[in-house]
Amino acid sequence: MFLLAALSVYSISFVLPSLSTIYGKGIYFTVPLSWIGGAIGGVALSILADRWSRRFSLLISILLFTLPLLLNSVIRDLSLFYVLWFLIGFGVNGENGLSYVYAAELSPPKYRGLVGSIMQGLYFVGGLLGLIWASVFKLNLYFLSLGVVSLISLALWPLIPESTRRSRSNPSAHGLFKITFLGAIFSVGSFLFVVPLVSLSFTLLSLLNLNAFLLLSIALLVGMVGFTLAGRISDIWGRKRTTYMFIGVSLVFSVVMLLSGEPLLVEISLVALMVGSSFFAYFGIWMSEIFPPEIRATGTNTVFFLGRLIGGGFGVSLVLLMPFGLKDDLGISLVISSILVLIAVLGLPETVSQGRKG
């Protein structure tokens, strides 16, 4: 389901040039609208999940991204496109947020990071599939076929169990506020890092007259492997130590991209940055481990709210509004994002105890 959701939300990014010849530049607003819808949907559906039923909330989220995706093949009005992509984002991020909670509650404790990072790494696979899909199918068939494939999520839903647990702890309001605040900073930094990196790499490589399709495909595959390894490392070393390691990689190669004018170094940096972004791989699981079960879905998705809104909704626009050229603009954004994550992780609690390592 996570893979199909990722494929759905990234799908429009690869056909925006074709759509812009039909609807004009206004079609580009569908991307931030989908992330804004995701920010709202993640919180709204998580509240429903905690107060009523996680399984039923998951069903609503699936319907909200599969059916609008199918409608993309027949809609011919720009304002309706906006509505559809708001709903797609609403559903996708509702599904993703609940997936972290399910992984935290149903996975063996010593493998939670691995399970969560494999799920998160499917964002890269979804992006890669969307890139390939767009090169194979014409526009209408592209959305129709994606919609049909996404319906597999509905077929899988009956196999998903209800997941509810209760805790004996009663964390203080001050402690929850601190976690939510620091988690939100981590989330904003992560989304400001990952979304512009994935969304703008193709354009940057094209501007440098490089083989954008091949290089981005390699980078996305390497990113997926990095995410998977990061999750397992965090299960063994701990969430904080693993984050420090990948933040170090991100800072180094963000600076290399910013200062270097050599296309080869930019290529290497982009691949390394996909690996460096693995500090985000297990973040959903980490937050789900920290919040008590009664508010786990709501707490986790509240943390993600600002990240989805600022990083997802406006991250690409913020980078494009900078005046220094795309390479330097992206490099500056990545440096700032890495520092934000570093600041946040300093105050977050470790959740991997000595007894859970290995």
- SS3 annotation, 99-156: HHHHHHHHCCHHHHHHHHHHHHHHHHHHHHHHHHHHHHCCHHHHHHHHHHHHCHHHHH
pLDDT for the residue numbered 1:
63
| Pair of tokens at residue 288 | 């789900």
**354 CB contacts (<8 Å, ≥6 apart)?**
none
Which whole number is the average pLDDT over 264-285? 91
Tokens of 89: 């984002």
Which has more pLDDT, 356 or 141?
A: 141
Counting Cα atoms < 13 Å in the Cβ hemisphere of 190 gives 25
- The residue-averaged pLDDT of 166-186 equals 76
Quote the mean pLDDT of the chain: 84
Q: What is the pLDDT of residue 171?
A: 57
Distance CA 12, CA 204 (A): 18
> Quick one: pLDDT at residue 113?
86
pLDDT tens readout for residues 181-224: 999 999 999 999 988 888 788 778 888 888 888 888 888 889 88
Taking a C-beta distance cutoff of 8 angstroms, is the pair 317, 32 a contact?
A: yes
pLDDT, tens digit, 9 for 90 and up, residues 282-327: 998 898 888 887 788 788 888 888 888 887 778 878 888 888 888 9
CB 275 within 8 A of CB 233: no
Instruction: List the structure tokens of 22.
Output: 């039909």
Kindly indicate the confidence band of residue 138, based on its pLDDT and cuts at 50, 70 and 90: confident
Q: How far does CA 31 lie from the centroid of its chain? A: 13
Q: How many CB atoms lie within 10 A of CB 69?
A: 29
Among 1-15, 65-79, 332-346, the range scoring the smallest mean pLDDT is: 1-15
Distance CA 96, CA 160 (A): 14
